[in-house]
Amino acid sequence: MSDEQLPVTKHLEELRKRLMIAAAAWFIAFLACYGFSEQLFQFISEPVRAALPEGNSLVFIKATEPFFTYLKIGALAGLLISLPIIFWQLWAFVAHGLYNHEKKYIFPFVTASSLCFAAGTFFGFFFVFPTIFKFLIDYGIGSGVSNPMLSMGEYLALSSKLLLAFGLVFELPIVIFFLARLGVVDYKWLSKNRKYALLCGFVIGAALTPPDVISQTA
């Protein structure tokens, strides 16, 4: 922990500074990504477009839907790009309450957090998305009572929630590592309470993804 104890007002000023830097980084990344939002949407919608029958494509229900969809794509891509800076600002704020020898974890934390989140989104997009969308669309077509008409806005909302869920799940090793370093948990505790961890993961997934059993267990 730092030798000098900062007053509450100083902590609030520091928090405000870190939040402003993180927000500025996100905004700059958003502006850079918005110009490529159409290409980014084509890329992120590839799994569902590949699962649709030939001749079908994503549709938009409202006149403003494409505009806001591309706006959200730019914001989402900007967030992913600016994550290292956001994690760095988070750690820089927390570091004020740590001992000097604990601050050596700042670079490994930022690097590992960014890589784990990226790995989670990569895994979800390239390995889970093609399977789950193919299954769901084929199931709907097989029922014989409906034709697929998927909205681009709804698809973006669903896919972004799923990507966020996968990214957060892949952050768990980082959280467990630091909890273990702080002495909050140990191997015996983790082994004893792993079923509760699975339950928490299911609850978090239910909060971030659509309320159906298939998407929860896929």
Express each pLDDT in 89-125 by its tens digit. 988 888 777 777 777 777 887 788 889 999 999 999 9
Instruction: Kindly report the average pLDDT of the chain as a whole number.
Output: 82
Q: What pTM does this model have?
A: 0.75
First to last CA, the chain: 44
Task: Say if residue 193's pLDDT is above 70.
Answer: no
For residue 22, give the nearest of 88, 109, 73, 111 by alpha carbon: 88
pLDDT in tens, 36-58: 999 999 999 999 999 988 888 89
For residue 85, give the nearest of 23, 6, 131 by alpha carbon: 23
Task: Say if residue 6's pLDDT is above 70.
Answer: no
For residue 215, what pLDDT is reported? 44
Phi, psi of 213 (to 5 degrees): -70, -35
Which DSSP symbol is given to 170? Answer: T
How far CA 147 is from CA of 62, 129, 134, in Å, comes to: 19, 20, 14
